[in-house]
Amino acid sequence: MNFLPYLVSAWLFLIGLYGVVTSRNLVHLCICVGVIQSSSYVLLLAIGYRIGCPAPIFIDIKPGTPAVDPVVQALILTDIVVEVTVMALLLALAVQIHKRNGTLDPNLLHAMKG
Amino acid sequence: MTRAARKILFLISALLLACVFWLGYSQMQPAGFVSGEYGDRVNQLVVPQRHITDAVTAVNFDIRGFDTLGEEFILFTSVMGVVLLMRWRKEPLRGDHEDKAEDRRVPPPSDAVRVTSVLLVPATVLFGVYMVTHGQLTPGGGFQGGVILATAPLLLYLAGTFGQFHQVAPLRMVAFAEAVGAATYIFIGGACLALGGTFLQNLLPLGQVGSLTSGGIVPLIDLGVGLEVSGGIVLALLAFLEELVEEKEE
Amino acid sequence: MTPLQIFILLFVAAGGTGVVLTRDPASQAIVVSFYGFLLSILFFVFQAPDVALSQIVVGAVALPLMILLALARVKKQQREHDKSR
Amino acid sequence: MQANLFFGLTLVWASARSWLPVLPVILPLFTASLIAAFSRLLSQRAALALSLIAAFFTASANLSLARISLSNPIVYWFGGWSAHNGKTLGISFAIDPVGAGLAAFASILTFAALLFSVRYFDTARNYFYGLVLSFLAGMCGFALTADMFNLFVFFELMSAAAFALCGQKTEDPGSLQGSLNFAVTNTIGAYSVLTGIGLLYARTSALNMAQMGETLAHGPRDRLVMAAFAFIICGYLIKAAVVPFHFWLADAHAVAPTPICVLFSGVMVELGLYAVARIYWAVFHPALHPLLPQLRLLFLTIGVATAILAAIMCYLQRNLKRLLAFSTISHMGLMTIGIGLFTAEGLAGTVLYALGHGLIKAALFLAAGIVLHRLQTVDEIELHGRGRKTRWAAAIFLLGAAGLAGVPPSGLALGSNLIHHSAREIGFEWQKWVSFFTAAITAAAVFRASARVFFGWGARAGSPHKRTSKSEAKTETEAGHHHTPVWMWAPAIVLVSGGLLLGTLPGLAQGALTAAARFEDSAGYAAHVLAGVPLQTPVPNTGIAGDAWFGILVLLVAIAFSGLHLLSKGFQPPCKPAIRPLMLLQRLHSGHVGDYVAFLTLGIGAFGVACIFLVR
């Protein structure tokens, strides 16, 4: 059971890739990229977790008691910001592509051949 | 490639990748038992050395503050990018929507929605400010508070008072505030350098543990980040929103 | 690992799958919002309240909103596109 | 009075010294936020001037960092959190001549690109300059940092700016798909990197590269380490655009505005390889050095495949920008070989090669931009004979082609000599012929294009192909299509002559060898970063035997090949059965992001399985 978070993380990575590869709509595709990103949250979260330890907020608990790893949580925070910003850029690009080509289906966009 | 060929290629590749995950992850320490010696050291020192009770904030804004500087500028850069991508017409960024938005011909939202939204605005702002200012004490901080603050103008939009929205937050002011928030981070870092430390070295008095002013430069950075994030998110959402508003005007 | 944590993890895996398999972007925006909410619960039960807060303001509010706005814009462009044809 | 002045100057100098290490990152970022804050008050010219000044000072800061760090790398701890007992808390820069040199190179190219864009984006607002400066800051931070996660952050900063800049020619009626393909594949690459960082953190509980390396050296060399290696290296190889991760590059270059192509081809992709080398030597080498022969084979395979495939694709292109983009991929293959030899000589050669190639490729893209400005298209067939009056562009194209072939005093000649020498020493004599093939074909492609465009050689094609790139037309520049302004040709001429004469700089090769030897001294690096022990790496003293004939031979073959091709047929649609595999190859580059991601998955999966197989 203790390996479950890793499995979930790997699964999210793979299923997100599957979504990107088979996508028929660029907005859908962008959201699938977001699922790949959430894979890294779960992995980092699992690495930082300690069984039976509280959150690293030393208000109610005495300073110095063992707590879960705050470094990893800070990394996830950065990761979340990166996700939302990259997603905004991807969506903006998708909207512009639709404006130009009148479609969001990657199967119908063929400007880049060869 | 045809759809089927692509799918087959992907399934084979995904199988390989799954093997990598399986073989690699199976040698990890089980979750909950990973020895995080780095995190332990941080947990030991944040209260005595930095007077900060939220260790995550301490890592974000002090110990690994330079990462967060990069992160803020990722947000800043992306917002510039989104605005540039979305407003691609020749006329410059317009800030004066008031006159057009006032006489929209869409049916106004019901009074119930209006009243609720308007009532929610002060609560949201209050909550956002609380979160920004308590970053070093409790969960939350400049980023979370900033996003909450950014939802306040959206509530105004929901209330059908987009004109008021522009009065509350004129675009040029939002853009200015965002950039100033971003520059604040560098400014604080540079001030530390000018005072004889290294970049972003926490040289201010650390204050009483548990008070709003504890943590030296951390609350200041938090304020800057809050300003930058709220401004940035509003700008990004507006970039998506702008043409929709025009449509309603037609 | 507590049963609650296991339960939420399984839910997150299912939620991610659901997001990918929802092919219609409009309904996907709703599913994504739900998924963001699930993730923030996950962070909460794994003792990461800071991250949970970020995730809830981003994943369950800001991101779905952005997706909906993008879709609304696409829809409007589609109408113009059809009109001009 | 004089004493006062002297004292003041010393003070300024001292404070400049303390600011110097952070300047390459914060100066462009601060200027970017200034430009954004006052974007309405500043005229476009003022914003441009500000950005030029920022790029100039960033370049000078980087150059002086490179010079100072030649004697010993500079370690700079942010927030004052320095290492204790070999354990780190904070983030540090570890500035060495290779990193600082690349950062300086990035700033110089940024300066040239900004100069070229003087009349470019009349429609865009000042945010364009803010984005370029953020891009520059991302590249500088990326080249200077010594922290694994910080590297990721700067990678993302650089990427976010690049995505926006790539899609920013939004008036263009053509497709923006290229920038979306770029953004999606590179974002997935970033998450591959992050997964690898997570695995390494679980094992080492550190984020500082030196500390990670030390911890890994004392731990087991198992599948976990290899999986982390695969995820991280593949993530950065996606940025470096090697086969099978290369698809995005050509698409991105075809849509990106010319000044941005300069930065992409000239330095951004090279930075991907820089990260691979840095991470291998700082983090993995202490643990993985017994596997070096196998890893060498792995990298050489990738490099050779990239060099040859992309050279063929390059010759098949008719869009000038795509042609140059594939030529970049092909040369990236050669650089991957250089890095993948894992020798000091190979690395030094690669650095010189990257500088020479970057300068020449940047000039070629600027020349393509001039052609686009004057003639409103970059399609080789449509341009047949129309370029007779664009003399500047013609000169740059011909000089650039000679540079790509690697004629002697150029940086490419110097670099490839070193790489050949090193490859021969460890028994890869054949590497020379890969290099020969690649250089000849990519140079021939440029020769063919320039002969057709500027001299009207070859048959005028009543082209059966549909006009592919007419859509590129009439967009980038607003007016003045009848002449080439000085700020367009001057940067290009300076860059191309710089690239061609790079080899004449005295002491450059020896400096590069010294820097490379230090770069690869993993134990010394760790001791220097973690304990402040000065590096004592023995400086290699290889006489650099110049093989001048090699480059000239390549040049002659390239000219002969392109000349024969044009004289015999001109452009002919490939239809013979012998060409069918080529068409298949061409069809693989479909522009479909799903295809690209499927190949990307294949690449990571295969690389990972191969790595894990090594430690069975």
Q: Range of A16's domain? A: 4-108
Residue D208 dihedral angles phi and psi, to the nearest 5°: -75, 130
Beta-carbon separation of B244 and C57 below 8 A: no
User: Model confidence at D15, in pLDDT bands (50, 70, 90)?
Assistant: low
Q: What is the DSSP letter of B59?
A: I
Number of domains in chain C: 1
Nearest chain B residue (CA) to A10: B21
Q: How many CB pairs under 8 A join A and B?
A: 162
Q: What is the pLDDT of residues B152-162, one digit of tens each?
A: 877 777 666 55
Residue A23 lies in a domain: yes
Nearest chain B residue (CA) to C80: B247
Report whether A65 contacts A54 (CB < 8 A): yes
Half-sphere exposure of D343 (CA within 13 A, CB side): 20
3-state SS assignment for residue D90: coil
What is the nearest CA distance from B231 to chain D, expressed in angstroms?
A: 12
Q: B100 pLDDT exceeds 60?
A: no
Interface of A with B in 22-81 (CB under 8 A): 22, 46-51, 55-59, 63-64, 66-74, 77-78, 81
- In whole angstroms, how far apart are CA A38 and each of A34, B35, B48, B202, D404? 6, 23, 34, 33, 43
Q: What is the pLDDT of residues D195-243, one digit of tens each?
A: 999 999 999 999 999 999 999 999 888 999 999 999 999 999 999 999 8
Q: D184 pLDDT exceeds 90?
A: yes
Residue A86 lies in a domain: yes
Element (H, E) at D77: strand D74-77
Which residue type occupies D172? D
Interface of D with A in 209-268 (CB under 8 A): 250-251, 254
Residue A113 lies in a domain: no
- Against chain B, the chains showing at least 3 CB pairs within 8 Å are A, C, D
Closest partner CB to B244 (pick from C54, C62, C72):
C72
Q: What is the mean pLDDT of residues D156-182?
A: 82
Report whether D51 contacts D132 (CB < 8 A): yes
A78 touches chain D (CB under 8 A): yes
Contacts of D601 in chain A (CB under 8 A): 17, 21
Measure the CA angle with vertex D305, ends D300 and D306; round to 5°.
Answer: 100
- Against chain A, the chains showing at least 3 CB pairs within 8 Å are B, C, D
Q: What is the pLDDT of residues D400-414, one digit of tens each?
A: 999 999 888 888 999
Residue of higher predicted confidence among B116 and A20: A20
Q: What is the pLDDT of residues D23-59, one digit of tens each?
A: 999 999 999 999 998 887 888 888 899 999 999 999 9
pLDDT at D468: 45
D484: left (phi over 0), alpha (psi -120 to 50) or beta: beta
Q: What is the pLDDT of residues B65-79, one digit of tens each?
A: 999 999 999 999 999
pLDDT at B92: 40
Beta-carbon separation of C25 and A31 below 8 A: yes
Beta-carbon separation of C65 and B237 below 8 A: yes
pLDDT at C9: 94
Q: What is the mean pLDDT of residues D49-76?
A: 92
Residue B73 lies in a domain: yes
Beta-carbon separation of C69 and B147 below 8 A: no
Three-state SS string over C37-80 comes to: HHHHHHHHHCCCHHHHHHHHHHHHHHHHHHHHHHHHHHHHHHHH
Counting CB pairs under 8 A, whether chains D and C reach 3 or more, is no
Q: What is the mean pLDDT of residues D452-480?
A: 59
Report whether D325 contacts D250 (CB < 8 A): yes
pLDDT at B97: 41
CB within 8 A of D483, min separation 6: which ones? none
Contacts of D163 in chain A (CB under 8 A): 86, 89-90, 93
Beta-carbon separation of A77 and B54 below 8 A: no
Contacts of C51 in chain A (CB under 8 A): 41, 45, 73, 76-77, 80
Q: Range of C40's domain? A: 3-84
Instruction: Work out whether the CA dihedral D450, D455, D456, D457 comes out positive or negative.
Output: negative
pLDDT at D577: 56
Number of domains in chain B: 1
What is the nearest CA distance from C61 to chain B, expressed in angstroms?
A: 9
Token digits for D573? 């649609």
Number of domains in chain A: 1
What is the nearest CA distance from A45 to chain B, expressed in angstroms?
A: 9
Closest partner CB to D79 (pick from B36, B183, B201):
B201
Alpha helices by DSSP H, listed for D376-390, are none
Q: Which of B46, B80, B192 to mutate to test the interface with D (most CBs of D within 10 A)?
A: B80
Beta-carbon separation of A80 and C51 below 8 A: yes
Beta-carbon separation of B240 and C52 below 8 A: no
Q: How many CB pairs under 8 A join A and D?
A: 127
Q: Range of B120's domain? A: 46-249
Residue of higher predicted confidence among B241 and B186: B186
Nearest chain D residue (CA) to B27: D224
A100 touches chain D (CB under 8 A): yes
- Cross-strand bridge partners of residue D76: D93
What is the nearest CA distance from C70 to chain B, expressed in angstroms?
A: 6
Residue A114 lies in a domain: no
User: Model confidence at C80, in pLDDT bands (50, 70, 90)?
Assistant: confident
Beta-carbon separation of A89 and B82 below 8 A: yes
Q: D464 pLDDT exceeds 60?
A: no
Q: What is the DSSP letter of B89?
A: S
Residue B5 lies in a domain: no
Report whether A49 contacts C42 (CB < 8 A): no
Q: Which of D50, D81, D139 to mutate to test the interface with B (most CBs of B within 10 A)?
A: D81
Closest partner CB to D131 (pick from B17, B81, B189):
B81
pLDDT above 70 covers a percentage of chain B that reads 82
- In whole angstroms, how far apart are CA D31 and each of D36, D131, D467? 9, 11, 42
For residue A72, give the CATH number of its domain: 1.10.287.3510
Closest partner CB to D26 (pick from B84, B178, B190):
B190
Nearest to D266, CA basis, from D107, D54, D60, D472: D107
pLDDT at B95: 42
Nearest to A72, CA basis, from D202, C52, D573, D161: D202
Token digits for D48? 């441009």
Residue of higher predicted confidence among B230 and D485: B230
Residue of higher predicted confidence among B174 and B75: B75
Q: C42 pLDDT exceeds 60?
A: yes
Closest partner CB to B139 (pick from C53, C72, C76):
C53
